[in-house]
Structure 1
Amino acid sequence: MNVDEFELERETSAPIDMLEHYFSAHGWAYERNGDEEIVANFQGSWAQYELRAIWRDDDNVLQFLALPDIRVAADKRAQTYETIGLINEQLWLGHFELWQTSGLVLFRHAALLEGEEGGTLTLQQAETLVETAIEECERFYPVFQFVLWADKSPAEAIAAALIETQGEA
């Protein structure tokens, strides 16, 4: 079943159910942990991403995380926090974080989902959640690499990674 067929079949669904259908329609490996959590894997241009959604029924909030497999050593955390601050200024939806205990960089955003019998998620909302997370991770992955591996300052890394090319080579 492709995404268009799925859209005709179901307009809204429980959040984790909709994401399961979305991941399945794209042929991505995923694992579901009850009605509250689903984890999928996606191969991006720069890295393998873990995509994780957690549903909080009490609050009608779906939290969506993308982990781009970036670990930060203790001596690079100050520069990484500065980098995250500069990156987050440019985002409209979601934000990057550095988890202090593990040193993992991740992208996270949440959606408040209202519905008559708890929250529901549309296919369009699922696409927006997933695609935004992947696009932002792909866009900023090189920035983190420049800071962590090329010893560039956060401002230099953003300038170097986000140069828009003109024309075709």
Structure 2
Amino acid sequence: MAILDPHDPDQEDAAPIDMLESYYAAHGWDHERQDEEIVASVKGSWATYELRALWREEDSVLQFLAFPDIKVPEDRRAAIYEAIGLVNEQLWIGHFELWSSSGILLFRHAAMIDGDEDRILSLGGAELLVESAIEECERFYPVFQFVLWGGKSPREALAAALVETQGEA
């Protein structure tokens, strides 16, 4: 499999997993691909995120998951479910969820990719999938930490995390 050059104007789009593989390679991110699934590791400000994409050709859907390395203990799940509800009200694309069987928190969104036989993902589409997932994980990571370890209620955690700094230091 040849790696595409996402900066080459003649390679503006490709099969979904091929484009993501090229996008990750262009950024120098560690990644592994297996058929129609790709997993990458990206260091953010708060955590190292596992990014996982799965292409379902029969449905023309690219499912994109970002795992911010947060595992929720059983006794904190009710508070985290409330925090997830409050956080999801702030989102336009994607949502956070908690896997009940494992307690793993994740961000998920999907892209419908149609085009009959030419199911392709543009460079802009790949950027939107990846960067929006990372941005939302970075933006809301403190909310979940405040609830889990900071002793804050979900509303207090959201308010504290979304305070924007004004002015310059």
What TM-score does the superposition give when structure 1 sets the normalisation length? Answer: 0.95
- Structure 1 residues 14-163: aligned runs within 5 Å: 14-34=15-35, 36-163=36-163
Cα RMSD (Å): 1.5
- 1:69-120 deviation digits (Å, cap 9, x = unpaired): 0000000000000000000001000000000111110000000000131521
CA–CA separation in structure 2 for the residues paired with 1:77 and 1:3: 43
Unaligned stretches of 5+ in structure 1? none
- 1:5-52 deviation digits (Å, cap 9, x = unpaired): 23x131211000000000000000000011x10000000000000000
Unaligned stretches of 5+ in structure 2? none
- Distance verdict in 2 for CA 1:128–1:33, change over 3 Å: same
Secondary structure at the aligned position of 1:108 is classed as strand
Identity value in percent: 66
Q: How many residues align?
A: 167
CA–CA separation in structure 2 for the residues paired with 1:161 and 1:82: 15
Secondary structure at the aligned position of 1:85 is classed as helix
What TM-score does the superposition give when structure 2 sets the normalisation length? Answer: 0.95
CA–CA separation in structure 2 for the residues paired with 1:41 and 1:68: 10
8 A Cα contact 1:57 1:118, kept in partner: no
AA in 1 matched with 2:31: Y
